[in-house]
Structure 1
């Protein structure tokens, strides 16, 4: 990125912070946020390396497919916004030509804004971290719960070993 581009981004970021402080806008939905990130990278492919995200950051199935296709195109040595190669990759993933066009139109129409790219990256990473934390909290402790209908407490907790020993 050139020094001038960096200066412009900093100025826009300062302007955005000033505007947000006086009139905070609601945060975009996950799908909108993903589409804006994808749209920015399609228009400015140099942002790919600046705002690198893992595949799990994309929850919307179509956006996930597009991101996978962009990764494959990038790994082949081409720019991630090479539309003919993206179309070919998406076709290989079972996306029809008409759907490819609609997907690209939807992503471009989402309103991805160059000065807000860092904000999109930050929110996508934050939401991914929140999902991962929630998944860890929901994850089991290796215990199996069994319903007993014959009196006593309706629930008893058994470790896997205890349950297997009882069933023998």
Structure 2
């Protein structure tokens, strides 16, 4: 709910408290405010010490997510987050583990014991993207049976493609 980096920088351009800026970006996109920022370098020595100390640091509450992304193949770059000064990550599509090792199968509803291997399943739609954790009794082939509840949660029709990655 508070960011010394935002207080030292972003607040002056947008006259918004940190929480409100985060809420706006959640409704639109993270780049919404960044696109409105001046495109000039920020001189770090001109920032208060509390803001300088945030630069490049991962917040303790974000440490686990940060480490998951690193294991997935993301890398830190030379930019920091506008809101909290933390590191930003990037990845090439082909370098992301869960994309590289994913499979696409045609889905249909079918029984599963619930004790099989865990997979992350998602539909292939951009506008109505859905993902769910599923347990499959056997590795998927060209066709995969999904528990009817998961099938419905993913908003699939019989024969729709489903992307799967083993966890």
> Could you tell me the TM-score, scaled by structure 2's length?
0.22
Higher relative contact order (CA 8 A, sep 6+): 1
Decide which structure has greater strand share: 2
Point out the structure with the larger helix share.
Answer: 1
TM-score, normalising length: structure 1: 0.22
Look at both structures and tell me which one has the larger radius of gyration over its CA atoms.
1
